[in-house]
Amino acid sequence: MSKPLILISNDDGYQAKGLHELIQAFRAVAELYVVAPDGGRSGASCSIHMFSTVRCDLICSEPDLTMYKCSGSPTDCVKLGIHKLLPRTPDLVIGGINHGENSASCVHYSGTMGVVMEGAMKNIPSIGFSLCSDKSDADFAPVLPYVLKITNTVLQKGLLPWTCLNVNFPNLPIYRGVKVCRQAKAVWTNEWEERTHPNGFDKYYWMIGDYVHLEPEAEDTDLWALTHGYVSITPTQVDMTAYLQKETMADWNFGV
C-alpha cells in the first residue's frame, strides 16, 4: 500500500518545535506536505485573508517531505495546500502539535483548530493535536506514541463526513489513558489588563484572563479529562446549528 498523503499545518509557525516533532514522527510512514504560517498565528481561529494577498515560499523539498511557509493564516495555509500545492487531495489534514491547550470553548479561537475545521469542511479526515504547555521548548516525547496511534486509527476507520478530532494532551510525563469527550462549558473572565503608554496617557490592553470551568464535576468533558490526567479526544463538527433552539422557534412570528 502506498504511503498516505498528509497535509500538516499549525498556528505557531513553520519553525515551531511541535510542528517539527510531528514531521519527525510521520517522516518514515507518510508523504508529508507542510504548509505553515511564516510566524506565530495563535488565536487565528478560522480567519482568512479575503482583501489582501498571500505569499507562499518553498523552503524544503526532500523525498516524502515538501515544506512551504506562508504569509497567511492557518486556514489560508490549508486552502493553499489543497487547491494549489499538493499533487492530490490529502488523505488526512493534521494541525499542530500546538504549544498550548485547545479544549472547551477555546476551540473557537484556536488557529490549530482553524487548520482542522478547514480540512473537515473539505470532507477530509482531520485531527488537531495540542499539548497543554505554552512553552516553546515543551517536551513532546510522551505525546508522540499517541499521535501515531490516533492517526493510524483514523486512517483505518475514517471519520463521519464534516467531522474532525480535537485532541489535547495534559502536560504530564505519563497519562492515565485516553477519553473520548464532549466540549466542556468554560468561560473567560477578567480578560484584559490595562497598561499606560510611556507617554503617560494613552491606554492599551493585554489579553490575559481566567478560564473558569463551569461544570467541573461532569466526567464526560475534555476539561475533566485533561485535569484528571487523561488525553482528551473531542469529536468536533462543522455544523453549528442549534437544533433544540430551532424547534423552540417553530411558532415564533417574524411578520413585519
Residues 151-190 that bind a copy of itself (CB under 8 A): 153, 157, 159-160, 162-164, 177-178, 180-183, 185, 187-190
Based on the shown chain and the rule CB under 8 A, indicate whether residue 219 belongs to the binding site for a copy of itself: no
Quote the CA–CA distance of 21 and 197 in Å, as a whole number: 39
In angstroms, give the least distance from the CB of 3 to a copy of itself. 21
Reported in sequence order, the residue ranges of 75-216 that DSSP labels E, i.e. its strands, are: 92-99, 126-131, 163-169, 177-180, 186-189, 192-196, 203-207, 210-213
The 3-state DSSP class for residue 23 equals helix
C-alpha of 238 from chain center: 14
The least CB distance from residue 225 to a copy of itself, in Å, is: 12
**Scanning residues 196 to 215, which ones bind a copy of itself (CB under 8 A)?**
202-207
For the CB of residue 88, give the shortest distance to a copy of itself in the complex, in Å: 15
Residues 7-36 that bind a copy of itself (CB under 8 A): none
Task: Please state the closest distance from residue 249 (CB atom) to a copy of itself, in A.
Answer: 5
* Single-letter amino acid code for the residue at 63: P
| Contact residue for a copy of itself among 36, 44, 97, 131 (CB under 8 A) | 44
Other residues' Cβ atoms within 10 Å of the Cβ of residue 226: 26
Which residue reads 417574524 in cell numbers? 254
Residue 73 near residue 44 (C-beta atoms within 8 A): yes
Span 66-95, contacts to a copy of itself by CB under 8 A = 73, 75-76, 79-80, 83-84
Contacts of a copy of itself in 87-146 (CB under 8 A): 105, 107-109, 111, 114, 117, 121-123, 145-146
CB of residue 246 to a copy of itself, shortest distance in Å: 5
Size of the site for a copy of itself (CB under 8 A): 88
The region, left, alpha or beta by phi > 0 then psi within -120 to 50, assigned to residue 177 is left
Cα 73 from Cα 70, distance rounded (Å): 8
